[in-house]
């Protein structure tokens, strides 16, 4: 019993004489307790007292001029995320992929159906606050022994002592929520509904981020395949030239074998890339709710992407109110708190009020005639006296489950902050990596241009020119990987910050 309930009951008892209390103490106690709810009242966890995600202030990233994705990114603390953040990449094929996935993805649809299940469970629980009314009708035919008590309306019944009996009846039962078990149950189900709702939103944010990252990876792998195929052609030409020189005595067998080994190594890198490309295409099709042989025709290309340069970064105090996984953990904590009240109420008395009314007659036309009606009122109270410690341990288990949910909530918050910090650091390092890769690719391109002019003028052999081309193609592969990392980590940051779902009406609107 809560302290407020005890205070109310004690104050009333102090004003009434003992002789007047005894006849009504049970009834009036129930009236006083009717508004009480045992168990703790849930309090929303406070936001972490943390001012920054990383140990250093956010600074704009470095730039890599004349390279796709090489723009500097500026981070705006406290900025507002866009509800459709993927449009910031300015890629129509990517936008179409996202819309296709949001419309057809079965995992997202399953999460939406789970939310409908949780919502209906809440509505079903609300019925316990109303009386339960049932109607029944029974009809029977019986024969009474003449040696026993007389039959109804004897001697009006036939001599063979056979008669019909018709009984329509209405029954009403109601259990007052004396200690708030029903209210706590409804509170728990509402919290579970919120948990399922945020689980659905988490599925939405994960889906959108997965589509973006997968499309970027697919584009990057295709670019690597193109560069690798050119590498294979270059190495094949180098092998042919060295073999010819070996036959003419201008090259040693060691040079030929070394180049053949290099050609085999480069050629071996192509099948894994082709496999990865096919797997990424299949994944994109499945994310869009299609079979692998129904991959969308429009492909995302790295050259068609623009890097978002103005990046809003939510404040740490905002993050816990935006991340769906944190909100789901909070809802689970709320449900665990309500479960303590349920377990506590189960150890206290329960009251049931019943009422029956109906009519009994020997024929249908007499059912509602005078003298056939009956009614009854009843009240019952039950209290657990000995359950072998079951209820006590169930209450302790509920309290332990609350502590478990509290630690899981804390772990989820820590993971959320880690995700943001990791992606912020990744973007800083991605910019540095892209700058270095761009510089290396530029140097390799300049070397190739100089080698082409020197070969045309006869200063170097064609083999040296091929070697410069091979170095350039390898630098292209490294540059593509650096670009893809920057695009993908930008998408990961938007997901880590919550994905901006609170700006979408279809996700924020709660059905009643």
Bridge-partner residues for 354, per DSSP? 173, 378
> Higher pLDDT residue, 362 or 228?
228
Tell me the range of 243-247, 469-473, 495-499 where mean pLDDT is highest.
495-499
| pLDDT mean over 140-152 | 70
Question: Would you say residue 8 has pLDDT above 50?
Answer: no
Please report the DSSP string for 189-233 in residue order: HHHHHHHHHHHHHHHHHHHHHHHHHHHHHHHHHHHHHHHHHHHHH
Contact 68, 219 (CB under 8 A): no
Summarize pLDDT for 322-336 with one digit per residue, the tens.
999 999 999 999 999
pLDDT of residue 156: 55
pLDDT of residue 23: 45
Contact 241, 469 (CB under 8 A): no
Distance CA 323, CA 496 (A): 8
Bridge-partner residues for 353, per DSSP? 174, 379
Question: Would you say residue 1 has pLDDT above 50?
Answer: no
> Higher pLDDT residue, 115 or 165?
115
* Sole residue written with tokens 């005894």: 22
| pLDDT mean over 46-69 | 86
**Cα–Cα nearest to 231, from 444, 446, 484:** 444
Summarize pLDDT for 405-418 with one digit per residue, the tens.
999 999 999 999 99
Distance CA 235, CA 230 (A): 9
| pLDDT mean over 339-345 | 95
pLDDT of residue 463: 82
Question: Would you say residue 207 has pLDDT above 50?
Answer: yes
* Sole residue written with tokens 């700006």: 503
Tell me the range of 83-97, 288-302, 496-510 where mean pLDDT is highest.
83-97
Structure tokens at 337: 């708190």
Structure tokens at 10: 């004690």
Please give the helix or strand (H or E) that residue 168 lies within, else none. Answer: strand 162-174
Structure tokens at 464: 């040296």
pLDDT of residue 118: 96
pLDDT of residue 493: 96
Structure tokens at 374: 């009956």
Summarize pLDDT for 430-484 with one digit per residue, the tens.
999 999 999 999 999 999 899 888 887 878 888 888 888 889 999 999 999 999 9
Q: Where are the alpha helices (DSSP H) in 365-461?
A: 390-457
Q: Is the peptide bond prior to 381 cis by the omega test (within 30 degrees of 0)?
A: no
pLDDT of residue 330: 97
Contact 329, 405 (CB under 8 A): yes
pLDDT of residue 355: 95
Contact 424, 493 (CB under 8 A): yes
Structure tokens at 369: 């005639």
pLDDT of residue 32: 45
Structure tokens at 153: 């309306």
Question: Would you say residue 11 has pLDDT above 80?
Answer: no
Contact 144, 339 (CB under 8 A): no
pLDDT of residue 157: 55
| pLDDT mean over 239-262 | 88
Contact 211, 495 (CB under 8 A): no
Domains of the chain: 37-71+83-130+177-301+318-348+383-508 (1.20.1600.10), 131-176+349-382 (2.20.200.10)
pLDDT of residue 126: 94
pLDDT of residue 298: 80
pLDDT of residue 152: 63
Q: What is the pTM of this model?
A: 0.87
* Mean pLDDT value across the chain: 88
Between 118-132, 307-321, 365-379, the lowest mean confidence (pLDDT) is in 365-379
Residue 339's CB is within 10 A of a number of other CB atoms, namely 24
Residue 425 Cα distances to 417, 422, 492, angstroms: 12, 5, 12
Return the exposure string of 449-473: e unless at least 16 CB atoms fall within 10 Å of the residue's CB, then b. Answer: eebeeebeeeebeebebbbbbbbbb
Helix 270-287 with 181-248: angle, nearest 10 deg: 150
Q: How does strand 350-359 pair with strand 162-174?
A: antiparallel
**Cα–Cα nearest to 91, from 214, 216, 207:** 216
Summarize pLDDT for 77-134 with one digit per residue, the tens.
999 999 999 999 999 999 999 999 999 999 999 999 999 999 999 999 999 999 999 9
Question: Cα–chain-centroid distance for residue 451?
Answer: 56
Residue 404 Cα distances to 41, 336, 387, angstroms: 17, 9, 26
pLDDT of residue 13: 45
> Higher pLDDT residue, 510 or 271?
271
> Higher pLDDT residue, 265 or 147?
265
pLDDT of residue 146: 65
Q: Return the percentage of the chain with pLDDT > 90, whole number.
A: 65
pLDDT of residue 12: 42
Between 267-271, 280-284, 398-402, 506-510, the lowest mean confidence (pLDDT) is in 506-510
**Cα–Cα nearest to 448, from 440, 215, 494, 340:** 440
Between 19-33, 48-62, 470-484, the lowest mean confidence (pLDDT) is in 19-33
Distance CA 400, CA 240 (A): 74
């Amino acid at each position: 019993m809560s302290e407020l309930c005890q205070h109310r009951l004690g104050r009333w008892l102090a004003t009434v004489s003992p002789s007047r209390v005894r006849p009504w103490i049970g009834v009036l106690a129930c009236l006083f307790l009717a508004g009480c709810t045992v168990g703790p009242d849930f309090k929303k966890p406070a936001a972490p007292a943390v001012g920054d995600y990383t140990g250093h202030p956010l600074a704009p990233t470095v730039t890599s001029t004349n390279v796709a994705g090489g723009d500097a990114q500026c981070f705006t603390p406290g900025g507002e995320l866009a509800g459709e953040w993927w449009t910031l990449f300015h890629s129509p094929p990517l936008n179409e992929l996202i819309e296709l996935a949001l419309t057809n993805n079965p995992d997202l649809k399953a999460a939406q159906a789970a939310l409908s299940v949780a919502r209906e469970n809440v509505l079903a629980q609300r019925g316990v606050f109303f009386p339960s009314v049932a109607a029944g009708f029974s009809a029977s035919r019986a024969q009474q022994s003449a040696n026993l008590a007389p039959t109804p309306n004897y001697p009006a019944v036939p001599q063979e002592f056979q008669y019909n009996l018709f009984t329509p009846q209405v029954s009403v039962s109601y259990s007052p929520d004396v200690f708030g078990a029903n209210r706590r149950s409804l509170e728990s189900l509402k919290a579970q509904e919120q948990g399922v709702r945020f689980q659905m939103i988490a599925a939405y944010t994960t889906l959108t981020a997965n589509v973006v990252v997968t499309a970027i990876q697919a584009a990057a792998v295709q670019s690597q395949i193109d560069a690798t195929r050119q590498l294979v052609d270059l190495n094949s030409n180098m092998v042919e030239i060295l073999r010819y020189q070996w036959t003419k005595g201008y090259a040693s067998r060691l040079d030929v074998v070394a180049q053949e080994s290099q050609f085999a190594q480069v050629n071996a890198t192509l099948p894994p890339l082709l496999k990865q490309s096919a797997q990424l295409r299949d994944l994109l099709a499945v994310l869009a709710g299609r079979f692998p042989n129904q991959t969308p025709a429009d492909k995302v290309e790295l050259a068609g992407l623009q890097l978002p340069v103005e990046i809003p970064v939510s404040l740490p105090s905002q993050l816990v109110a935006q991340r769906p996984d944190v909100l789901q953990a909070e809802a689970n904590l709320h449900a665990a708190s309500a479960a303590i009240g349920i377990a506590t109420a189960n150890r206290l008395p329960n009251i049931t009020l019943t009422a029956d009314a109906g009519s009994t007659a020997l024929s249908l036309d007499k059912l509602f005639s005078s003298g056939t009606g009956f009614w009854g009122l009843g009240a019952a109270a039950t209290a657990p006296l000995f359950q072998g410690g079951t209820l006590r341990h169930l209450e302790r288990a509920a309290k332990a489950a609350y502590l478990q949910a509290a630690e899981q909530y804390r772990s989820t918050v820590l993971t959320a902050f880690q995700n943001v910090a990791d992606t912020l650091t990744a973007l800083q390092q991605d910019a540095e990596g892209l700058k270095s890769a761009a510089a290396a690719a530029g140097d390799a391109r300049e070397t190739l241009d100089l080698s082409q002019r020197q070969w045309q003028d006869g200063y170097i052999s064609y083999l040296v020119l091929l070697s410069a081309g091979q170095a350039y193609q390898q630098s292209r592969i490294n540059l593509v990987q650096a670009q893809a990392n920057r695009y993908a980590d930008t998408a990961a940051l938007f997901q880590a910050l919550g994905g901006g779902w609170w700006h979408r009406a279809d996700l924020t609107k709660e059905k009643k």
